C-alpha cells in the first residue's frame, strides 16, 4: 500500500509495532514455509527475482524479502510504534501511538487478519494435566511433552503441525471440522499454478454468490515442502494419524467430538472434484489439455468407521492439545464505529464504512487471493486509487 501511495505522491507514514514483517518474525512455527510458490511472492513493481520460482520460502526468507522491499521502495516505516487508538477527529482521524500522535485525513488498516488465535470458549474447561498451545505459541515437536497430541483443526496449519508431530514419534489425533482438501500437484503442475492460471484466485468479491461465507472458507490443506508432498487427510492417516470429528465440547474430563466427520470429508472430496473440474475445463479452453498429463481424480478421504466420539483427557492418552482453529484480527485499538457484531470491519471491497478509512490484507477482501502476499498488489492498487479520488474530492469541495 505504501508503494502504491508513493506512486501517487500521497504523503503517508507506516506505523509498525515491531519490525517490518513482524508476524513472520515472531508468530510462525520453526519449520513453516510459504504454501504459495515463490513466484507468487510478487509485490507492487517487484516480481519474484530469485532463482527458485517453484520453491517455497522459509519464514526467515519471507522476512528478508519484505525487509528488502520496504528499503527498495523507501517505505516511510516507523518501527517500534504501537497504535493504541484510532478515532474520528475533525474531518479525519486522530491516531494515538506509544510514540506520539498523528492526525490524518485517511487511514489504511493493514494490521493483519491473523492477529489472535481463535480458541473455543470450552478450552477453559480442559483438565490441567493437558498442556495447550496455539499455532502461534507452538514452535516444534521437541518442545512438547512425550505422549499423545490432539491437534484441533485440519486446515493448512493443523495438517502441517500434525504431520511433523506424528513424525517426531508422538501419536497424533486430529479433530476435523470443515476443511478444504487440495493436492500439491495436479496434472504435472502445482495446484496454485492451476488456480492462478484458471482465474480461480482472481475471482472478485462482487462476483461470488455469498461473500460472507466465502470470507470464512478455511485455508486449503497444503504445505510448501521441498518434496512437493500432499498434506491431505489420507496423507496423515497414511503415517498413522487418527481422525476424529470436530472438537465440540468438554464434559467433565471428557472431550466430545462431532459425529459429522464422514459428512465433512465427503463434502471436502466433492468440492475438490469441483475445483479439478474447473481446472480441467480451463485446460481445454486454453488449449493446454494435450500438453499436460490427463485428468484424474483422487481416492476419497478414508474415514474411520465408526468414528470415535469421545476421549478421556484425564486418561493420559493426550498430553498436549494444539489449537489450529484459525485466527481473527485484533481491533481492540480501533475507536471508530465500523466493527460488526463479530468485531470485523464493515467494508465494501476494502472501503470501510467510515469516510477515508480502508482495510487491506483480509480474506477475500476484493479477490479470492486477497489474504495472500500475491493478493496485496491488485488490492493495494485499487484501494490507493479510491483513496486518491477521496482526497481529490475533499480538496475540490474545500475550494
Ligand X SMILES: Cc1cc2nc3c(=O)[nH]c(=O)nc-3n(C[C@H](O)[C@H](O)[C@H](O)COP(=O)(O)OP(=O)(O)OC[C@H]3O[C@@H](n4cnc5c(N)ncnc54)[C@H](O)[C@@H]3O)c2cc1C
Min dist. Cβ of residue 22 to ligand X (A): 3
- Alpha carbon 373 to its chain centroid, in Å, reads 10
**What Rg value do the Cα atoms of the chain yield, rounded?**
22
Establish if 221 lies at the interface with ligand X (CB under 6 A). Answer: no
Nearer to ligand X, 82 or 263 (CB): 82
23 vs 197, beta carbon nearer ligand X: 23
Site for ligand X (CB under 6 A): which residue of 39, 69, 93, 114? 114
Question: How many residues make up the chain in this entry?
Answer: 399
Binding residue for ligand X (CB under 6 A) from 3, 4, 6, 36?
36
> Within 10 A of 345 (CB to CB), how many other CB atoms are there?
21
Q: Tell me how far CA of residue 250 lies from CA of 255, 304, 309, 318, 337, in angstroms.
A: 5, 22, 12, 14, 36
Q: Which of 35, 130, 144, 152 binds ligand X (CB under 6 A)?
A: 35
Nearer to ligand X, 225 or 256 (CB): 225
Q: Which is nearer to ligand X, 22 or 253 (CB)?
A: 22
Comparing C-alpha atoms, which of 140, 123, 112, 107 is closest to residue 17? 112
Number of residues that bind ligand X (CB under 6 A): 24
Site membership for ligand X, residue 373 (CB under 6 A): yes
Pick out residues in 286-345 that bind ligand X (CB under 6 A). 327, 333
User: Among residues 280 and 379, whose Cβ is nearest to ligand X?
Assistant: 379
* DSSP state letters, 54-109: TS--BHHHHHHHHHHHHHHTT--EE-S--EEEEEEETTEEEEEETTEEEEES-EEE
CA atoms within 13 A on the CB side of 301: 30
Contact flag: residue 280 with ligand X (CB under 6 A): no
Select 106 or 157, whichever has its Cβ closest to ligand X: 157
Contact characters 40-79, ligand X, x per CB under 6 A:
----------------------------------------
Q: Report residue 84: phi and psi, to 5°.
A: -105, -15
Contact status, residue 302 vs residue 234, Cβ threshold 8 Å: yes
CB of 17 to ligand X, least distance (A): 4
| Run of H or E residues at 38 | none
Asked whether position 83 contacts ligand X by CB under 6 A, the answer is: yes
Could you say whether residue 111 binds ligand X (CB under 6 A)?
A: yes
CA 21, CA 17: separation in Å to the nearest integer? 10
352 binds ligand X (CB under 6 A): no
**Exactly one of 4, 5, 34, 311 binds ligand X (CB under 6 A); which one?**
34
**For ligand X, the closer CB: 47 or 238:** 47
Answer for which of 55, 112, 127, 355 binds ligand X (CB under 6 A) is 112
Which backbone phi and psi does 360 adopt, to 5 degrees?
A: -140, 155
Report the first-to-last Cα separation within the chain, whole angstroms.
Answer: 28
The DSSP H or E segment spanning 176 is strand 172-176
Out of 5, 15, 191, 243, name the contact with ligand X by CB under 6 A: 15
* Binding stretches for ligand X (CB under 6 A): 15-18, 22-23, 28, 34-36, 82-83, 110-112, 114, 157, 327, 333, 361, 371-374
Amino acid at each position: 500500500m505504501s508503494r502504491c501511495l508513493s506512486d501517487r505522491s500521497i504523503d503517508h507514514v507506516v506505523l509498525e509495532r515491531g519490525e517490518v514483517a513482524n508476524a513472520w518474525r515472531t508468530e510462525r512455527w520453526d519449520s513453516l514455509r510459504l504454501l504459495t510458490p515463490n513466484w507468487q511472492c510478487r509485490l507492487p513493481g517487484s516480481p519474484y527475482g530469485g532463482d527458485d520460482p517453484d520453491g517455497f520460502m522459509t519464514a526467515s526468507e519471507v522476512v528478508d524479502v519484505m525487509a528488502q522491499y520496504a528499503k527498495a521502495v523507501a517505505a516511510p516505516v516507523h518501527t517500534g510504534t504501537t497504535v493504541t487508538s484510532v478515532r474520528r477527529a475533525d474531518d479525519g482521524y486522530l491516531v494515538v501511538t506509544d510514540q506520539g500522535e498523528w492526525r490524518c485525513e485517511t487511514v489504511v488498516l493493514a494490521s493483519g487478519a491473523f492477529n489472535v488465535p481463535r480458541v473455543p470458549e470450552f478450552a477453559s474447561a480442559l483438565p490441567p494435566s493437558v498442556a495447550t498451545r496455539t499455532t502461534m505459541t507452538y514452535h516444534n515437536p521437541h518442545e512438547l511433552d512425550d505422549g499423545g497430541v490432539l491437534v484441533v483443526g485440519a486446515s493448512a496449519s493443523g495438517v502441517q503441525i500434525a504431520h511433523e508431530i506424528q513424525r517426531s514419534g508422538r501419536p497424533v489425533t486430529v479433530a476435523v471440522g470443515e476443511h478444504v482438501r487440495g493436492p500439491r500437484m495436479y496434472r504435472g503442475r502445482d495446484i496454485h499454478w492451476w488456480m492462478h492460471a484458471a482465474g480461480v484466485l482472481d475471482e472478485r468479491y462482487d462476483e461470488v454468490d455469498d461473500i460472507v461465507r466465502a470470507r470464512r472458507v478455511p485455508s486449503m490443506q497444503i504445505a510448501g515442502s521441498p518434496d512437493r508432498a500432499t498434506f491431505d487427510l489420507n496423507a496423515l492417516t497414511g503415517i498413522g494419524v487418527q481422525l476424529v470429528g470436530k472438537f465440540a465440547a468438554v464434559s467433565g474430563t471428557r472431550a466430545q467430538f462431532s459425529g459429522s466427520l464422514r459428512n465433512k470429508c465427503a463434502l471436502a472430496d466433492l468440492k475438490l472434484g469441483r475445483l479439478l473440474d474447473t481446472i480441467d475445463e480451463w485446460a481445454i479452453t486454453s488449449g493446454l489439455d494435450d500438453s499436460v498429463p490427463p485428468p484424474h481424480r483422487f481416492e476419497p478421504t478414508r474415514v474411520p468407521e465408526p468414528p470415535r466420539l469421545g476421549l478421556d483427557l484425564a486418561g493420559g492418552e493426550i498430553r498436549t492439545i494444539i489449537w489450529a482453529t484459525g485466527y481473527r484480527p485484533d481491533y481492540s485499538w480501533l475507536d471508530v464505529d465500523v466493527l460488526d457484531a463479530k468485531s470485523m470491519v464493515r467494508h465494501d471491497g476494502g472501503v470501510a464504512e467510515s469516510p477515508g478509512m480502508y482495510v487491506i490484507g483480509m480474506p477475500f477482501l476484493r479477490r479470492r487471493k486477497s489474504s495472500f502476499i500475491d493478493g496485496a498488489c491488485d488490492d493495494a492498487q485499487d484501494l490507493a486509487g479510491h483513496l486518491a479520488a477521496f482526497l481529490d474530492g475533499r480538496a475540490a469541495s474545500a475550494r
